[in-house]
Amino acid sequence: MDDINTCKRQFLEYVEIEKGQSLKTVANYDRYLTRFFTVSNIKTPTDITDDVVREFRLYLNRQSGMKVKGQVAATLKKNTQNYHMIAIRVFLKYLMKRGVTSLPPDRIELAKLKERHLDLITVDELNRLLHAPEINLPTAEGIDKTKLLRDRAMLELLFSTGLRVSEIASLNRDLDLSKDEFSIRGKGEKVRVVFLSETAKDAVQTYIKNRKDMSEPMFISLAKNNTRLTSRSIERIIKHYAIMAGISKKVTPHVIRHSFATDLLSNGADIRSVQMMLGHANIATTQIYTHVTDSQLRDIHKKFHGKSK
C-alpha cells in the first residue's frame, strides 16, 4: 500500500520536473496537501474519500481568515479554500495516472465565487499617472533626474505591455529596443510576446541613456547600490505617483495591467488576443474584462434599437 507522504513527494517532483511548474507553485501544493493530510489524518491514498473531503471543506470554511486592517476575517476566503481543493484534485489526477486507487479527481468540486470586482481608474486618471514623473523633470539634476526617468519608463512600460509586477521587476537593461516587441517568461515559466509603444520605447531609451552604472537589472534602486527593484518597491513607487496625480483610489501595478486590457478591448481587440498578451492560461480569467464590451453593447442597443417605431 502506498504511503501518502511518499506519493506526495513523488507528485511534487512530477509537477516540478515533468509539468514545469514554478517552485512557488510546488511549495503551494506542498502546503495545501500537507494541511489536508494532517487535518484529515490521511495515511494512504485509499483514505481519501468523499466524506473526508467534505469534512475538510467544512474545516476550511470554519477557519478564520487573515488580518485586514487589524480585524480578523470571519472565515477563510473562498478562493483560498478553492486553492486547497485544486491541489487535492491535481494530486488525485496524478494518482489516477499512476494507477493508484483513490478518490476520482472529478469528485472534487470548487466553491462558487462571487463575480470578481475590478479596480479600475479612468482614462484621465491613467494619463495623469503616466505623466506624474514628468512634473519635476525640467528642474531635476543628477541622480534625481535618473530616478524620474526610471519611474516614467516603468509606468509607460507597464501600460504598453500589461506586464505583471514580478515580470517587470525581472527585466534586464539589455532589452532589444530596436524591435517593437520582446519575449517575457511569466507564470508557469510560459513565454509570451509583449509589445512596445513608441512612447514606452522612447521613455526606456532615455532612461537607459541617462544611467551611469553598469548594473544588469533594468529597474534599479538608486539608493541601494543599484540593486534590482523588488516587486514591493515597484508597488510603493506606483502608489507614490498615484497620490501625486491626485488619484484617491488604490493604484497598483495590477491596476495598470487592468487598464492595458480594458484599453485594448474598448478599442476593438478580441478577447483571445488579449488573453495571449496578458499570459492567461485560461480564457475564463480574461473574461473578467468583458464588462468593457458589455457596456459597448449597451450603447449600441440604445443607439439602434426601436428606431423604426
**C-alpha to C-alpha distance for 8 and 128, rounded to whole angstroms:** 50
For cell 541601494, the residue is 224
Q: Which three cell numbers stand for residue 177?
A: 529596443
Contact between 92 and 50 under an 8 Å Cβ cutoff? The reply is no
Active site residues: 164, 187, 254, 257, 280, 289
Residues in the chain: 309
Helix, strand, or coil (residue 72):
strand
Which residue type, as a one-letter code, is found at position 309? Answer: K
- Give Cα separations from 52 to 33, 81, 137, 213 (angstroms): 13, 15, 62, 59
Helices of type H across the chain: 4-17, 23-39, 50-61, 78-98, 123-131, 142-161, 165-169, 198-210, 231-244, 253-266, 271-278, 283-286, 291-304
**C-alpha to C-alpha distance for 216 and 202, rounded to whole angstroms:** 20
- For residue 53, give the nearest of 25, 71, 32, 26 by alpha carbon: 32
- For residue 184, give the nearest of 287, 283, 260, 276 by alpha carbon: 276
Which residue type, as a one-letter code, is found at position 274? Answer: V
**C-alpha to C-alpha distance for 264 and 250, rounded to whole angstroms:** 22
